[in-house]
Structure 1
Amino acid sequence: MINPFYNLIWVILIIISSGFLFSSKHFAFLDKKINYNRESNIDGIRFLLASFVAMHHFIFSYNYFSGKGWSISKHNIFNDYLGVFSVCVFFLISGYLFVSCCNNNNIKWKSFYIKRFTRIFPMITFQSLVCIAILLILTKQSINQIIDTDNIYSIFDWLNGGISSLRPDLFGIHQSWVTMGGVIWTLQWEWMLYFSLPFICVLMGKTNKYNILLASLFLFFYVFQNYSYSSKSFISLFISIFTISFLLPFLMSLFNIKKYNTVTLTLIILLILSSYFSHYIYKDSVICASFIVGALCNQYKSFFRHLISKTPSFLLNILLIISFLISFAIFHKKSYLSFSFVFSCSVFFVILLSGANLFNFLNLKGVIRLGNASFSLYLLHSIGWFIINKTLLHFNILHISYVFYFCSTLMWFFICYLSLLTFNKIEIPWIGYGQTLGKSL
């Protein structure tokens, strides 16, 4: 059994040591391909968030191979919190970064979606292919069974780029998704955010034919398919959306609301709606609220920064840690993602945006490098835990603590190194290709 206290100490030590280790000049080749004009503390926090998710799944994976199923022990509540906290802040960051698209009157949706496709699909496809290869090695099926029609169709589900979180069993192996730790469910929500942006533009009164067409497709795939025509939640949601899309421009002109406030007004209305519909679809509403609050943080980032601009750096970092602990206290009481938890995480995020950097840790070269490679780290860590735990179980040494932690430490550093390689060899080339193709349209 994993001791929660010693495990927490190990988690802190390997995360900090990773930041310093990968600051080495041996990884300087990555710096030429990193845009340092971006907000470095956000890049740095991405590494911490991806690491927290990895350590969250570290417990799940250990329990799975210990015969307890894909679960987390109750006495490891802090590890459980790290995963939920990270997902919530990741959603806040996504809302923060992508709401700017709604401010752009001349956004080229073809270019936008091509860039998103080339940013996400190649790395997820690589992850899926690695998982499929592992499952092929472990399967006991014959060649004829492997090339069965069911397996072929299931493989296509594994190669959907995260648009759907469906990962069916392959080659007769129960719970095949354990190889990748189930991390794809958050990417399904990311895609929903990207596809919802034209819909938000329509709510803001930007009703050109492309926005209306894409907004209609968004409603069809992500609303109509999830709610019955006869259900109260569907009827209420449809009427609310229909009414707002027509009344918002009128209300803005009636109350003389300036144009630059349209995004804020739309987001506030959507936040109110998400709160209302939490009575019917709680988890969905809370996740939507995460994106919306992140977007609102983007609209008021200058205000927040000005508000605490004279706050000493030392005190700002203390406030960041305190906000983290407060959000943990809220989570500890509820033990799930909630509206109160989202808003407490948003306080953490606002302090981060205002310049907090965890006493300059987030500005370390290694942390920024790994932060840029956080997408790879997020996708690959569960494969690493699966391989090491499967191997230790095979040799019957999984429960020898010093062997387990020594091997897990080596695997963690390998996961970080592999993430940097895939970022350099897969992510960066495809990002460049997407940007080139997007400019040509």
Structure 2
Amino acid sequence: MLQSYQMFGWILGLLLLCWAVFSSRLFVFMDNPGSRRIERLDGLRFLLAFSVAMHHYVYSYYYLHGQPWTPAVFAHNPLNLRMGVFGVTLFFMLSGYLFAQSSPASWLHFYLKRFLRIAPIFYLSSCCCVLLALYLQRHTLVSRDMLLNLYYWFDAGITGVKPPLFGMRDARLINAGVAWTLYWEWAFYFSLPLLCFVRQKTGQLPLAISVLFIAVYCVAPFNQQKAYFIACFAVGALARIVPESIQIPKKLCDSAIVLLLVLIFSITTGRYHINFLPLFALLFILIALGGDIFGLLRLKAFVRLGDASYSIYLLHGLAWYGMNKYIAAHNLVLNRTQYTLVSTAVMFVLLIICTLTYQYIEKPFMALGRRKSPWLKE
């Protein structure tokens, strides 16, 4: 495992390789000509998914070398510790930004589209976890509560529960336990009808500020983490309307974003603490105002991989777990250089697989969700 500055250099090298490989014509099938989507947000999605993958890279390495899945393993990799909070925080803000103004003609159709967007890759990830757990437990198989436990693994993330599989108590770590964030995504989606009703009465700005107030001053004293997540969605909603009243020169936005990134990766603790939310909030608002980190977020490779970010998010844990489990099972002894080269190869195989899962699984189901269902009134 690389240490500190070496890890930083490797991560930068990975991003450069991503830029070189995925901007080639081989991946032109990932382009969306004529799309009205905001390119810098697609590029942001990739960097967020990549950050979470690098966070779990350290967890997975130490876990499969006999250490517990706790933040203590980041003693020599503080950058990777902070990358996890960075990725999840901005993902939640991005959801708040995209859906804050939702007012669908049919809420049933809205939830159908959300299900078809979330469930297919979730089920693919769960199937891989179930099959791998079944293989690993083949000699000590426990069938008690098997059907009930399997139910939770195929709930599309709504319950946030991932029980043991076939007696494997830590089965949720096969995919790095990433499905917990979907519980909060669904909670946000289910709150939208109420938020939409209140927004029509008050306007979006008073609503967003009110939710922030409740999170910071009413929820945080009892549960910092829950307050933090609620506030993230509210910040995303706030960022949606800030550009209507404020305009900042792009170079100033980009310079401020770089400064904020330095602060975030220097002084935050790697925990979801409400005290650090202003840094992340200002960062996201500057991106909403047009900041793209001097063009970084608009790089063709990052925009393309941004489409595959959900696949990257749900499948990267399987890649790290499978790699480390194979090395351990075959008693392979790799030095730091060899392990890093293997990790690099695994990462790029993962990214290529994710472009294909987006193209052949995610994209068709999203198209299906956009169709008008004859049994749903619009």
Do these two structures clear the TM 0.5 threshold for a shared fold by scoring above it? Answer: yes
Partner of 2:57: 58
Partner of 1:269: 210
Q: Secondary structure at the match of 1:279?
A: coil
CA distance in 2, matches of 1:265, 1:361: 33
Q: What pairs with 1:123-272 in structure 2 (closer than 5 Å)?
A: 123-141=121-139, 145=141, 148-204=143-199, 262-272=203-213
Q: Secondary structure at the match of 1:75?
A: coil
CA distance in 1, matches of 2:12, 2:183: 30
CA distance in 2, matches of 1:120, 1:265: 30
Q: Secondary structure at the match of 2:145?
A: helix
Is 1:27 equivalent to 2:22 in the alignment?
no
Counterpart residue type for residue 78 of structure 2: I
Partner of 1:430: 365
Counterpart residue type for residue 207 of structure 2: T
Counterpart residue type for residue 127 of structure 2: L
8 A contact 2:268–2:276 mirrored in 1: yes
1:192 to 1:31, Cα distance in 2 relative to 1, 3 A: same
Q: What pairs with 1:13-92 in structure 2 (closer than 5 Å)?
A: 13-32=13-32, 36-71=35-70, 72-92=73-93
CA distance in 2, matches of 1:187, 1:411: 25
TM-score normalised per structure 1: 0.80
Q: Return the offset for 1:290.
A: 0.7
Equivalent pairs counted in the alignment come to 373
Moved more, 429-438 or 177-186: 429-438
Is 1:116 equivalent to 2:53 in the alignment?
no
8 A contact 1:131–1:179 mirrored in 2: yes
8 A contact 1:43–1:372 mirrored in 2: yes
1:75 to 1:122, Cα distance in 2 relative to 1, 3 A: same
Counterpart residue type for residue 86 of structure 2: F
RMSD: 1.9
1:393 to 1:422, Cα distance in 2 relative to 1, 3 A: same
TM-score normalised per structure 2: 0.93
Partner of 1:323: 260
CA distance in 2, matches of 1:3, 1:394: 24
8 A contact 1:135–1:170 mirrored in 2: yes
CA distance in 2, matches of 1:269, 1:365: 38
1:82 to 1:153, Cα distance in 2 relative to 1, 3 A: same
Q: Return the offset for 1:270.
A: 1.7
1:317 to 1:438, Cα distance in 2 relative to 1, 3 A: farther
8 A contact 2:175–2:317 mirrored in 1: yes
**Deviations for 1:297-330, whole angstroms, at most 9, x for unmatched residues?**
10112333x2x13x4x3x5433211111122344
8 A contact 1:114–1:438 mirrored in 2: no
8 A contact 1:389–1:398 mirrored in 2: no
Is 1:303 equivalent to 2:245 in the alignment?
yes
CA distance in 2, matches of 1:74, 1:35: 46
Partner of 1:254: none
Which consecutive segments of 4 or more residues in structure 1 shift more than 4 A? none
In structure 2, runs of 5+ residues without a counterpart are none
- What is the aligned-residue identity percentage? 31
Counterpart residue type for residue 203 of structure 2: T
CA distance in 2, matches of 1:95, 1:35: 25
Q: Return the offset for 1:35.
A: 5.7
CA distance in 2, matches of 1:341, 1:20: 34
- Correspondent of 1:417 among 338, 352, 361: 352
Q: Secondary structure at the match of 1:100?
A: coil
Partner of 1:289: 231
- Correspondent of 2:315 among 375, 380, 396: 380
